[in-house]
Chain A
Amino acid sequence: MEEILLNKPGEKIILLGNEAIVRGALESGVNFVSTYPGTPASEIGNIFWKIWEKAGVYFEFSTNEKVALEAGIGASFSGLKTLVAMKNFGLNVCLDSLIPFVYTGVRGPTVIIVADDPSCHSSAQSEENSRPIAFLAHIPVIEPSDPQECKDFTKFAFQISEKFKIPVIIRTTTRVAHQKMSVILGKIQNPRLRQGSDRQAKSKIQKSEFVKNPKQFVTLPPRVLEMKKELLEKIKVIKKFSENSPLNQVGGDPFSAKLGIITSGISYLYVMEALKELNLNLPVLKLGFFYPLAEKKIQNFIKNFKKVLIVEELEPYLEKEVERLTREVNCKLKVIGKELLPEVGELKPEQVILAVAKFANKKLKIKNLLEIRNSKLEIPRRLPRLCPGCPYWLVISAVKKAVDVKKVIFGGEIGCYMLFGNPPINLQDYLSCMGSSVGIAHGIKKSTGQKIISFVGDSSFFHAGIPALINTVFNKSNPLIIILNNQTTAMTGFQPHPGAPAIPDGIKIEEIVKACGVKNLKVIDPINQEEFTQTVKEFLGKNEVSVIVARRICALLAQKRK
């Protein structure tokens, strides 16, 4: 891990995509980093958590992505070089703060990492493609393909942000963020990098000054409309910059060829692999800038083609843009994309090679030996499950003893406990986003007379559960909320949250619950099965909202601490 601080420009080390982003930020001289953990972006925070003191960088795990971004906005307004990292759903959470931030623009250059997870390897709730945030917020979005680009694009993003005074999003996907390769190191720019004691290091973190400038930072009408105008002008300038940017690269000769490929991100690597395997030499336009799009460059690339293949994961945003751009330069051009490639699930290299072969009229068959020779033996799916010794098993067992599960509705949420939806547990009747189990429980309670138990993790409770709890009190409904207090953000890699007792001077969840006006409240270690079971029975009969804080440390965390 400490290898990431190796200050030997020119040397190569193997880095994960997310590690390369951290390195890129360090080489850019980042001062301020905030995040809320979420796979596939989690390692960015984990690494800063380990190295921030040595690197002389301020770092925090914020309570949610909106707060993380707001902290970053404050740092940027104060002139610091800022990095904020999150997974795709975090972008939804922070959207309210993001859009005005693009209007105000940055003072300290600011880069926001957004990691999508096509195929939902580590995500419930939806298979989200974050790209159209660019259209919604008018924010530049760039897409690296591999760890070397993760590092280079991060540095580049800081430069764009500094030059145009605008925040920049780097969008990665699982196969980019969790890809490893050897990366050429540059110089770590932060002069505060030092070996001294922690106390010394802490005092060396950059301090700055907020300089009042309401014209830039206050988005009050009528100024806000002027700001929008200025933003659109800014985007026009960045578009020109994007046209000549080395982030968009043409390979091969598009002027003598009849066929060509446009692609970006991880898909580019599959395209290159396919061309190599098929021994084909087609021109390829690799777009590093998703927004603003280098439209002239694209039009120049496609103007002599008969057909162009767009290789992109998930929804065809790029394909639609290219279709629009053909009208002016090559209206007979056939734009092919989703007719050969899936819109659901991540791309696999074999899907891309088949699409490229078909596009270029090359015959190709891929044999699946499993299907040909082995069709009789069904290999069952191995679903993820709660760890042996997980305290949640105790909660499940007490709940199952206390109620007839057919007669109670169970609200699920994001965290290890979303596995309550898998057999043999089967305690999940709905599952949506973080904080939602309580909010939805309230709506069901108001709409029916049915009994409901809403599970919410401690980190989720801090993240987005508290407003929903207050709503049950204010608008008077009576779900039973079980806060699973395992004292960590376990699923994403044991990051801390603000709660006591994991943080000795941390916030006591039961104090918050009390302060919200909840009368039926108990903190129980679920090892006390009898008490837990009786309390579930008792609380389910109450006319007001009830809360059980199920307090027992995550078994893996307990083991780590030994």
Chain B
Amino acid sequence: MKKNNHEFNIVISGTGGQGLITLLQIISEAAFIEDYDVKTSELHGLSQRGGSVEVHIRFGQKIYSPLILQGKADLILGLEMQETLKGAYYANQKTKFLVNKHIIPIPLAKPLTETETLRSLKKISKNIILVSAGEICQEKLGTNVVAGIYLISLAVFKKLIPLKSESILKAIKKIIPAKYLELNLKAFNLASDSEALK
């Protein structure tokens, strides 16, 4: 947590259907467990039909706006590389990026490669961590639907989010419906293991 203004701002960028609202719920619940003031903003409806989606989570001593000021993000979590680049609107030189190494082509548009997108991201920030979250989950858990959970868990274990991993774990248990909980807990543990191996 930054000392001067006591707040932490997270943008999650991705596309409709990648489960951004669930990730928002988990992080905000975890911040709430740690007694922070929390504000979030999300979109529903039309914007969810496979379009660009960006959600904001803010926590600290006292938070007013649910939207993050341009240039004030502390962390940008990217579930898709091109969308992460759009999320960089909220970045400053110190903003950290944790990005899923994954491109979902935009229909009818000139496809951007991972290399091109990464090159552009690197122009914006030196703090970019690229993780093949989808591939790792597919390989170890047999599905990539929990890539987002893996990514936010990793963010906590890497101390990119100033919240305790136990709080995230508690939040996952509260938010995720019982029938999917085991799989999501596996993704959390997988993130814990991969961080411990380093």
Contacts and interface: CB of A to CB of B under 8 A. Distances in A.
Interface of A: 12, 14, 39-40, 42-43, 121-123, 146, 174-175, 178-182, 266, 269-270, 272-273, 276-277, 348-350, 353, 366-370, 373-374, 376-377, 379-387, 416, 419, 423-424, 491-493
A453 B93 CA distance: 53
B88 A370 contact: yes
Interface string B156-188: 000000000000000000000000000000000
B45 A387 contact: no
A181 B59 CA distance: 10
Contacts of A277: 69
B15 interface: yes
Contacts of A370: 85, 88-89, 91, 124
B45 A121 contact: yes
A383 B51 contact: yes
B49 interface: yes
Given A180-B40, A349-B65, 13 more contacts: A39-B45, A121-B47, A122-B45, A146-B39, A180-B25, A369-B93, A377-B85, A379-B112, A380-B82, A384-B48, A384-B51, A419-B49, A491-B46
Contact of B124 (A39, A369, A492): A369
B29 A492 contact: no
Interface stretch (B102-110, B134-142, B145-153, B189-197): B102-110
Contacts of B42: 178, 180
A367 B71 contact: yes
30 contacts: A12-B32, A42-B45, A121-B47, A180-B40, A180-B66, A181-B39, A181-B63, A182-B38, A270-B64, A272-B64, A273-B69, A276-B5, A349-B65, A350-B69, A368-B89, A369-B71, A369-B88, A369-B125, A370-B88, A370-B91, A374-B123, A376-B120, A379-B85, A380-B109, A382-B50, A385-B50, A385-B107, A423-B108, A424-B108, A493-B45
Given A370-B124, A382-B51, A350 B45 contact: no
Contacts of B40: 179-181
B128 interface: no
A387 B43 contact: no
A382 B67 contact: no
Contacts of A384: 16, 46-51
Contact of B92 (A146, A369, A424): A369
Contacts of A349: 65, 67-70
B176 to A, nearest CB: 14
Nearest to B110: A380
A273 B67 CA distance: 10
B44 interface: yes
B41 interface: yes
Contacts of A368: 70-71, 89
Contacts, number: 160
Nearest to A13: B32
A57 B123 CA distance: 56
Interface in B53-67: 63-67
Contacts of B43: 121-122, 174, 178
Given A121-B45, A384-B16, A180 B38 contact: yes
Which bracket fits the contact residues of B? 35 or more
Shortest Cβ-Cβ A-B pairs, 8 listed? A39-B45, A122-B45, A380-B109, A384-B51, A384-B49, A350-B70, A273-B65, A272-B64
B83 interface: yes
A374 B88 contact: yes
Contacts of B88: 369-370, 374
A458 B43 CA distance: 25
Contact of A175 (B41, B52, B109): B41
Interface in B79-131: 82-83, 85-86, 88-89, 91-93, 106-110, 112, 116-117, 120, 123-125
Nearest to A377: B120
Nearest to B95: A369
Contacts of A353: 69
B67 A348 contact: yes
Contact of A416 (B49, B67, B69): B49
B112 A377 contact: yes
Nearest to A378: B110
B32 A14 contact: yes
A277 B62 CA distance: 12
Contacts of A178: 41-44
Interface in B1-53: 5, 15-16, 24-25, 28-29, 32, 37-52
Given A348-B67, A369-B71, A379-B85, A182 B32 contact: yes
Contacts of A43: 44
Given A369-B92, A382-B15, A424-B108, A491 B45 contact: yes
Nearest to B42: A178
B45 A179 contact: no
Contact of B64 (A269, A383, A416): A269
Contacts of A424: 107-108
A386 B49 contact: yes
B23 to A, nearest CB: 13
A42 B43 CA distance: 12
Contacts of B63: 181
A375 to B, nearest CB: 10
A382 B106 contact: yes
B64 A179 contact: no
